[in-house]
Amino acid sequence: MVVLYLVTHRTSGLKYFGYTTSPLMVRWKQHEQAVAKGSKTIFHSALREHGLSEFSIEEFGTFPSAKEAKLAEMYCIAGFRTKFPEGYNSTNGADGRYGLPRIRKKSKVLPHQFVGGSGRNNVMYGRAPWNKGKKLSEEHKAKLRGPRGPRKTKSITS
């Protein structure tokens, strides 16, 4: 069984929905531990600021699977408007996957593919490079060569 729970701030009435597969008081202890460790979520910051005794926790419903509980949590967060700043939920529910910006995964596209592909698919296909046929001045050639001095070698002494 998966439990959907509701935490309410006694003074302001602001709410937080969550779900757990653990017993409800075990989950509450986990929130207490997160507060003690300095968690910076909106909910944990509120617990720290107002004190744990200012909040009540209650079972809101039970579900046969986590999938159903996540869906119910999302509906409750939207229906009861508990997403910050109207409540203490940081996200739209379902393990925090909804409501926060997604981090883009590193692209597997190779650099030459950004220009439009390779070969005939590349936008530069059949065109001459911008610098083809350009003559470099002697001064510029000297800069490209860089300062050449004696090579530094490690000497092995016995």
Q: What is the pLDDT of residue 102?
A: 47
Least confident of 25-34, 85-94, 130-139, 145-154: 145-154
- Is residue 154 a part of any domain in this protein? no
Provide the residue range defining the domain that includes 38: 2-79
pTM score, two decimals? Answer: 0.60
Find the mean pLDDT for residues 57-75.
90
Residue 32 domain-assigned (yes or no): yes
DSSP state of 35: H
Write the DSSP symbol of residue 103. Answer: P
* Structural domain includes residue 13: yes
Sort strands 15-20 and 2-9 into parallel, antiparallel or unpaired.
antiparallel
Please list, in sequence order, all residues whose beta carbon lies within 8 angstroms of the beta carbon of residue 86, skipping any fewer than 6 positions away: 14
Question: pLDDT, tens digit, for every residue of 95-141?
Answer: 765 544 444 555 555 544 454 566 776 666 777 777 788 888 888 88
**Residue of 91, 79, 33, 24 whose CA lies nearest to 56:** 24
pLDDT digits (tens, 9 = 90+) for 26-64: 999 999 999 999 988 899 999 999 999 999 999 999 999
Whichever domain contains 13, its CATH number is 3.40.1440.10
* Domain contains 138: no
Domains in the chain, number: 1
- Amino acid identity for residue 44 in this structure: H
